[in-house]
Structure 1
């Protein structure tokens, strides 16, 4: 947050958050809840209006007013010529939710986590929460299709996303239109959006970030544990770790070359046996960089042990993306042999 914006917000301790009246959407519902997380706006009055005189009185204005002027805390996205994105690496045009998150996200996280704004975790979480939560709201509000080149009818409809659920909280078309009722409905929608958002922040804070640290350690030590592949193509974890959401970004950050990228991940399962999982080609892909050998796929127990030449095997999935062995040593032997085939 710029000094000018911080001073303006702090000088008006209660403040007024202005957004548009009438039907509400996920972007304005979330934007208002996010702003209320800031200490300077935690007790702010919420005004829903399209009256220019009332808009002008707002400490901060979102999703109305036809202005995007960060210096005066005006954050609308409907005006002609608006094409702001989260950063140079993103293409999705921002809605009011994205604008608030772009400009105030790290301050909002700092307030939620009760940490100083210099905390190095904030930048990571700022981007993650945009990618995982806010960007979809921006896209839906701006009418950006998830698959712009797809001309076929979808096999099914999904109306359970946050934008849809917020939309259903508006009055039905044949219900009386009452601004007091709409304000009450908006408050409920905003609270729902905020609750889901900060639940996801907490999940990232207490699960995603700790997993990232473990993946960093595993990448650093992947050539040095007993029996390791000299090229570092096998990752080893001593417990279950959510590694998939980190490995691709960390490979880039750590400048890992293609010939030394991990191909298999070893970890114990809940039954005390050991898994060998093939790394996918991307976080969302079902295709593996190097699936377990075709001759092993769909086999179990003694049959798999005989074919692989490694005793005490448990199974290999028919797609080859994962397998299991009774022991850590055996799982490592499976992964090591798979690298050679």
Structure 2
């Protein structure tokens, strides 16, 4: 009977032992690891975002708290494992030394983004721009310019992700007068309710987790589309009005919007960008039926304006107003003076110019 030499037998045994102790390399699909048990909105959104990327779009989501198994069998791990290491693709935020914020990972964005990141914010910080582009490609076959992509990245964090970070980390909304973040979706509470209640028995929690990903994913996609297809377009219109302001009125205090859009928050941001804070006083736009002249508010949510329409015009309408102002085709001025209306662009422009030149009044 033929026998292998003893040293070859030992070598083969060693090789077999190595195969037993080292998990085999897996082929596609890839695997996303997160914790099992009760799920939370941050890892649900993190998993959805990763599944938008080509390398994880067919990935299995493996839920466990066994760190050894997760690290040996998963391509990327979120919200579990006790470690943050971008090179290894480990994204946990629960360990005490972890204090990363959007600003710390992206120093180019505002220092105001100082909320400690959850797994959603951590994944978004590293992959958010790619996720945004992929969602736009899938939904509208659209790509953003580098500038608009960065704007969208920041705005989606402000609108959506920061809320998840703050709630998951127990950050108080108010510390002083201004809120540190806004709750615009209540998605964390809705995802939380998909977990089985204490009275539910024999519930397939993995199926509930899949349902949570669908709910949270739909919310994120809607937010991306709103920001990238509507919010950015509005910003472009306001930017155009701001850049052309001195052709409307030499001081730049009157803005003429070529198309009506939500403009107050955009104007506040763009004034800082152009270093002209407080200069614009009135904005002219067409609301679809007539022209409007609106005072720029002190802050986007304020009812106080930088400039009011003259008190002598307030509360008047139509012919009476036109006669008092000496401008034909006026429609109304609100009794508080924060807005007025006209039938034509020319009449609205005359109303705005005359208001700017009106002597200062005590309000």
Give the TM-score category using the shorter length: 0.7 to 0.9
Q: 2: distance between equivalents of 1:317 and 1:82?
A: 53
CA contact (8 A) 2:76 2:89 kept: yes
Higher relative CO (CA 8 A, sep ≥ 6), structure 1 or 2?
1
**Structure 1 partner of 2:233:** 210
Deviations 1:16-40 (A, max 9, x none): 1111112212111111101100100
CA contact (8 A) 1:159 1:165 kept: no
**Structure 2 partner of 1:28:** 43
**Structure 1 partner of 2:78:** 62
Query: Are residue 17 (structure 1) and residue 44 (structure 2) matched?
Result: no
Distance 1:116 1:262, change over 3 A: closer
Q: When the two structures are superposed, what TM-score results if normalisation uses the length of structure 2?
A: 0.80
Q: Which runs of 4+ in 1 moved over 6 A?
A: 115-118
Offset at residue 119 of structure 1 (A): 3.9
Number of residue pairs aligned between Structure 1 and Structure 2: 316
Q: When the two structures are superposed, what TM-score results if normalisation uses the length of structure 1?
A: 0.85
**SS class of match (1:223):** helix
Q: 1: distance between equivalents of 2:184 and 2:287?
A: 35
CA contact (8 A) 1:12 1:40 kept: no
Unaligned runs of 5+ in 1: 1-10, 151-157
Offset at residue 248 of structure 1 (A): 2.0
CA contact (8 A) 1:106 1:117 kept: no
Matches within 5 A, 1:42-191: 42-56=57-71, 57-87=73-103, 88=107, 89=111, 90-114=113-137, 119-149=146-176, 161-176=186-201, 178=203, 181-191=204-214
Offset at residue 267 of structure 1 (A): 1.0
Query: Are residue 290 (structure 1) and residue 307 (structure 2) matched?
Result: yes
Unaligned runs of 5+ in 2: 1-25, 178-182, 359-363
Query: Are residue 240 (structure 1) and residue 265 (structure 2) matched?
Result: no
Q: Which deviates further from its counterpart, 160-169 or 299-308?
A: 299-308
